[in-house]
Amino acid sequence: MASLTGRDPSLLRRINSTVVLRALRGPDEPRALTLTELVHATGLSRPTVEGVVEGLAEAGLVEEAAEEPGEGRGTARRGRPARRFRFRAEAGHVLGLEIGPHRVAAVVSDLTGHITGTLAREVAETASADERLERARATVADLLRRTDVSRDTLRAVGATTPGIVEADGTVRLGTALPGWTGLPLGERLRRSFRCPVLVENDANAGVLAEHWKGAARGCDDVVMVLAGLSPGAGSLIGGRLHRGFGGAAGEIGALHLLGREATPERLLSTTDEPLHPLDEAAVAQVFALARAGDEHAGRAMDRFIQRLVHDVAALVLALDPELVVVGGWASGLDGVLDPLRAELERYCLRAPRVTLSRLGEAAAATGAVRLALDHVEKELFTVEGDTAD
């Protein structure tokens, strides 16, 4: 009956290592456990646990915990207390990097995802690709210096940016940033790091972040809409990121063009002149005027909401998520929730819950950290040199 296991012992080793590491990291906080406790927590045999702990210690991921002061934990101890083992969360770091039209942001965390530092810098909308990358590099260097994290301890870097991103990190299409379409972003970033660099679309990173630490915790079927003049969306289906066959899933921005409606810049304009494509300040001003009772601004906002509803409805009808998270702009979006809910109730056969992003501006960079952590966790569990599938 053990015939299947005989076919791939490394797979079993990996699974067993995963089980032990997960037990040590605990459901919420890392904890130090004895071998006996690990046997109970994992359901593995004692010899297996011993072997796995030894391998993890050699890899620098587990160490014996400092002895706890005698706390009388209810178990009788004879002679020397049992050794406890802990996950060395400080054995490495991961970096999350957001490269956007107006800013770059970097976030560093330990191996449990505990964020130990963050730094954001503005960047000119008109900056060339080289200038923008240089700005990102400088921000990373500053952050590592300030948090006293050595670049050598980075185990993975997650990077996120608007546009369609291919599996190798090349930007297939990125109209929001000058010189971005065709940029081998992954390759360019890899020159600065010795660890793997993963690149992902910003809305995709955003939904990972909201699922991890934000408004979508505990919810596995989520669409996150980055509302903006050209909206994008990221989706989780059954807890997994849905990238689409070509990485373009959720790039819903073109849909309204089909309806031959006005461009969003015109929708939101209170004059005859369209707004600047990326002018968030102007948008915030329109929203503020509308709230203050300005008639032109109110109509402009109505038009904008109508379009947002249409885009979100398209996503909801296609995907049928449990939850829609609306993010993207720092302010003004709270006014769109109620009309959005009402319209979705009206047109969707099964309307999802609708909520605001909890992470706001931090969503993309936080999602980039999650991306890097996912990669590291997959790697960590390969403790004896065999490659993960």
State the residues that interact with its own copies by CB under 8 A. Answer: 1-7, 9, 12-13, 15-16, 43-45, 48, 164, 172-173, 221, 233, 235, 237, 242-255, 257-259, 261, 306, 309-310, 313-315, 317-322, 343, 347-350, 352
Min dist CB 110 to its own copies, Å, is 29
Q: Which is nearer to its own copies, 252 or 380 (CB)?
A: 252
**Residue the block writes with tokens 């015109």:** 266
Pick between residue 142 and residue 374 the one whose CB is nearest to its own copies: 374
Cβ proximity to its own copies, 167 vs 281, nearer residue: 167
Joined tokens for residue 389: 């599938």
Check: CB of residue 382 under 8 Å from CB of residue 14.
yes
Q: What is the DSSP string of 118-179?
A: EEEEE--TT--HHHHHHHHHHHHHHHHHHHT--GGGEEEEEEEESSEE-TTS-EEE-TTSTT
Closest CA to 207 of 327, 319, 41, 115: 327
In terms of CB distance, is 107 or 319 closer to its own copies?
Answer: 319
Instruction: Provide the minimum distance between the beta carbon of 241 and its own copies in the complex, in angstroms, as a whole number.
Output: 11
- 18 vs 269, beta carbon nearer its own copies: 18
Burial label for 218, CB within 10 Å (0-12, 13-18, 19+), is exposed
Nearer to its own copies, 108 or 305 (CB): 305
Given the complex with its own copies, which of 348 and 356 has the nearer CB atom? 348
Q: Is the Cβ of residue 295 or residue 345 nearer to its own copies in the bound state?
A: 345
Dihedral angle, C-alpha 294, 297, 302, 306, nearest 10 °: -170
Categorise residue 276: left if φ over 0, alpha if ψ from -120 to 50, beta otherwise.
Answer: beta
Rounded to the nearest whole angstrom, what is the least distance from the CB of residue 172 to its own copies in the complex?
8
Q: Which is nearer to its own copies, 20 or 99 (CB)?
A: 20
CB of 367 vs its own copies, minimal distance in Å: 19
- We find the least distance from the C-beta atom of residue 321 to its own copies, in angstroms, to be 6
CB of residue 333 vs its own copies: minimum separation in angstroms?
19
User: Helix (H, G, I), strand (E, B), or coil: what is residue 299?
Assistant: helix
**CA distances, 263 to each of 259, 322, 373 (Å):** 11, 30, 39
CB-neighbour burial class of residue 309 (10 A; exposed 0-12, middle 13-18, buried 19+):
buried
Tell me the closest approach of the beta carbon of residue 240 to its own copies, in angstroms.
9
| Minimum distance of its own copies from residue 1's CB (angstroms) | 6
Please state the closest distance from residue 103 (CB atom) to its own copies, in A.
24
Nearer to its own copies among residue 223 and residue 373 (C-beta): 223
Nearest 5°: phi and psi at 184?
A: -80, 75
Considering the complex, what minimum distance in angstroms separates the CB of residue 43 from its own copies? 6
Q: Please give the biggest Cα pair distance in the chain.
A: 85
Question: What beta strand segments (E) does the chain contain?
Answer: 33-34, 62-64, 84-87, 93-99, 103-110, 115-122, 154-161, 164-165, 171-173, 197-201, 222-226, 232-237, 240-241, 323-327, 353-356
Give the three-class secondary structure for 205: helix
**Which among 224, 230, 335 has a CA at the least distance from the CA of 286?**
335
CA distance 134 to 137: 5
